[in-house]
Structure 1
Amino acid sequence: MRLARLGHEHTDWLRRLTEADPAQHVFLASLLELTGSAQVSSPAGTLWGVFDGESPVAAYWIGGSIISIAATPRTNVEVAHMLNSRGRPACSLIGDHRAVIDLHRRLRWGPARSVRADQPFMVADRSPRVAPAPAVRVGDLGDVSEAYAAAVEMFTEEVGFSPVEHGSAAYVGKVRANLSSGSTLLYTAECGPDGAPLPRWPAPNSARQVVFKADIGIRSRSAVQIQGVWVHPVFRGTGLAAPGMVAVTDHIRRTVAPIASLYVNAFNAPALRTYRSAGYSQTGRFATIIY
């Protein structure tokens, strides 16, 4: 086997692979839709293929994230050799747990910052048990302060370190971009479920707080991967999350794509219950390794 960049002539092959599971392979599908070709090399990353003779058998996006399709231990050998020769970057391995864990074990990069080895991949494929929350709406730039505070809390809880430990400008920019494109859905309130005013946390300069949020993340014409789901601690266990997710799913199906998906840590039992109540079921298993 050999590793080489994919070319235009491999576009149909890669498209067929993504179409076999549009939810799980939404990132590569979105890349194909954006570029129209499997030949992609830019400052953001490069599409590589592992070839058996003249035919590609697996593909890898290598950039800030490393995302593969049809990867096996044999194809990971070639990719690991290249990655080890380059040295350790700041990046994440994301995708099917078997391919991710195998590649992680082949890398000589030292300890990862975060390892999430068991993440159920879920798709909204059945009727929800609850009605949608009517107060969930598309956020706008007027929500940037509150949305930023909630996004920082969500990330820190999820991966164990703050996304702004080296400065906030890039993360503020990400939050603003999501709001500008209509990609953040949220529910804001000034009072908790008991009617008492919310403490001025996590947005200390505003009485209004985001109490539920979710981001429309990676998307193609066929599927969306929901990211950044978060519920204010005061509202946890009150029954807000599942109706909120139903509202998000309904919005995605109406305005973006027919398939809504996400992945969640297996140890997060409340989140798993929420997503099941919202009509999601597990169709695969992901892993995420952050370096």
Structure 2
Amino acid sequence: MLTQTTTRALGPGDLDAALAVLDRDPVTNAFVAARVRAAGLDPWRLGGEMWGWFAEGRLDSLCYAGANLVPVCAGPEAVRAFAERARRTGRRCSSIVGPADATALLWSLLEPVWGPAREVRPHQPLMVTSAVPADVAPDPLVRRVRKDEIDILMPACVAMFTEEVGVSPLAGDGGLLYQARIAELVSTGRSFARIEGGRVVFKAEVGAATERACQIQGVWVAPEFRGRGLSETGMAAVLRYALAGIAPVASLYVNDFNTAARAAYRRVGFQETGAFMSVLF
């Protein structure tokens, strides 16, 4: 007997069912879950469409289609359905990112139409912790960034983004959207830094957060301060803030070739629990 499946864009009436899918893996799905819990499923507020894959009338998988294309709890059949929909709509995203297996299949189906990508990062370990490290003292100078320090923070954010992604976040719209995003993180108390002499020495942000999990991003140490262990003590401080006041579990994903970062994260208690994949355009 064949399973009856269908794929469609979700609307506000699908919110409870979508949240149930996201709650299956609150750590892996933190980015999409945070957006949905903040904005619902209205495309205008969400910043993109949420596609749903239904099996026998039950919502089983999701795919966020906004600035990023992100498969959620998607097995091979759902991924193929999402790829077909993405081919019909055309590429509107700047990246595809998500769990490695689903994203790899999705990209293999889209590459003949959307390719080539600017860069493919096929294995980015997902690292998770729920405890502040016992043997790494948090840097006492790392604190929440104040609203009047955004101009000090921005050059470090731009440097980190350019170093990590390979393009400047100021391209296109002059950086208006990127600056607005940084300002939002500062205003919600999710931007942390060590600032000395009017410049950033270390910084990191909690880029996505729900009541169950948060995702740390944008970890950066000024080049002349690298090799001194500031990423470890700085991350210990960020974890102290995040686990006490934002969510009980913190995660991040890191490029597999960045062995120094992976070692630093392991020293502050992060453990690799899975892998993401990113396709950058």
TM-score, structure 1 as length reference: 0.86
State the 1:272 CA deviation.
0.5
Indicate which of 9, 16, 32 corresponds to 1:5.
9
Point out where structure 2 has 5 or more consecutive residues left out of the alignment: none
**Aligned residue among 104, 113, 116 for 1:111:** 116
Alignment match of 1:251 (pick from 226, 241, 246):
241
Residue 206 of structure 2: aligned partner? 216
| Secondary structure of the structure 2 residue equivalent to 1:188 | strand
Distance 1:290 1:216 in 2: 22
Secondary structure of 1:131's counterpart equals coil
Count of residue pairs brought into register by the alignment: 272
How far apart, CA to CA, are the structure 1 residues paired with 2:168 and 2:229? 27
Q: Tell me by how many angstroms 1:33 deviates.
A: 2.7
1:141 equivalent among 139, 147, 161: 147
Q: What is the alpha-carbon distance in structure 1 between the residues aligned to residue 63 and residue 115 of structure 2?
A: 22
Matched residue type, 1:71: A
Which shifted more, 157-166 or 275-284? 157-166
2:193 is the alignment partner of 1:186? yes
Q: Is the 8 A contact 1:134 1:247 kept in 2?
A: yes
What's the RMSD between the two structures over aligned residues? 1.9
Deviation of 1:127 after TM superposition, in Å, equals: 5.6
Q: Distance in 2 between matches of 1:176 and 1:126?
A: 28
> 1:90 offset after TM fit, Å?
3.4
Query: How many Å separate the matches in 1 of 2:71 and 2:90?
Result: 19
**Alignment correspondent of 2:176:** 169
Q: Going by fraction, where is helix more abundant, 1 or 2?
A: 2
Aligned 8 A contact 2:138 2:236 in 1: yes
Cα distance in 2, alignment partners of residues 88 and 211 from structure 1: 37
**Equivalent pair of 2:18/2:59 in contact (CA under 8 Å):** no
Take 1:24 and 1:64, find their aligned partners in 2: how far apart are those partners? Answer: 18
Query: 1-side partners of 2:90 and 2:33: how far apart?
Result: 28
Matches of 1:101 and 1:54 in 2, distance apart?
A: 27
Distance change >3 Å, CA 153–CA 25, structure 1 → 2: same
Aligned to 1:157: 163
1:242 Cα deviation after fit: 0.5
1:63 aligns with 66
Change (3 A) 1:146 1:7: closer
Q: Distance in 2 between matches of 1:145 and 1:232?
A: 16
Q: How far off its partner does 1:32 sit?
A: 4.2
What is the aligned partner in structure 2 of residue 274 from structure 1?
A: 264
Deviation, structure 1 residue 174: 2.4
Q: Which residue in 2 is equivalent to 1:72?
A: 75
Shift of 1:11: 4.2
How far did 1:14 drift?
Answer: 3.4
Task: Supply the AA of the counterpart residue of 1:182.
Answer: G
Secondary structure of residue in 1 paired with 2:97: strand
